[in-house]
Structure formats: C-alpha cells, structure tokens
Amino acid sequence: KDQQGYFMFSDFLCYLPSRNPKEVQYLIDWYFNMELTMQYNSSVGGWTGFTPAGLITAAKFNADKHDVVQGI
C-alpha cells in the first residue's frame, strides 16, 4: 500500500476443530485497506459482510448462483 493506492488481500483457511472430517470449515477472509470487510464460512454457507461495502459485496456474492464457493 502506498499513499495514493488501495490495498486488498484475502486469506484462505481450513479450520479443523477436531479429527472429524465433517467438522472442517473453509474460511475466506477478505480485507480492504487492512480492514476485514467480509468473510465466507462454509458452516454458514455464505458470505457475511462487516463493513458497509462488505455488506453490499457479500449480498451480491450470496445472490450469485454460479459462485463456485457456495458449493463447498
């Protein structure tokens, strides 16, 4: 990130709370300018927005029937 630009990144995680493979959670954390804006959680089955822009984008992603992540 520089003084004139924007910074966006995502973390892709697999959370293993136990040895049971049915309990594995797939998470995507989406950051913009160092702020967590939204998250995908396979246990929830969709995106959750945390900021105004994240709420809008999460709603669009959740409405997209062709979103590959929704099938995980």
Total tally of structural domains belonging to the chain: 1
Q: What CATH number is given to the structural domain containing 42?
A: 3.10.320.10
Which DSSP helix (H) or strand (E) runs through 51?
none
In a domain, 3, yes or no: no
User: Would 48 be classed as within a structural domain?
Assistant: yes
Q: Domain range spanning residue 44? A: 8-65
Within-domain flag for 55 = yes
- pLDDT tens digit string along 23-34? 899 999 999 988
| Length of the chain in terms of residues written | 72
pLDDT of residue 14: 93
Does some domain include residue 72? no
Higher pLDDT, 1 or 10: 10
Q: Name which residue leads in pLDDT, 1 or 30.
A: 30
1 occurs within a structural domain? no
Is 34 among the domain residues?
yes
pLDDT band at 50 (very low <50, low <70, confident <90, very high): very high
Reading phi first (left if > 0) and then psi (alpha if -120 to 50, else beta), residue 69 is in alpha
Return the closest-CA partner of residue 10 out of 69, 72, 60, 66.
69
Residue 2 has pLDDT above 90, yes or no: no
Unique residue bearing structure tokens 């959370």: 15
Q: What's the pLDDT band for 70 if we cut at 50, 70, 90? A: low
- 71 occurs within a structural domain: no
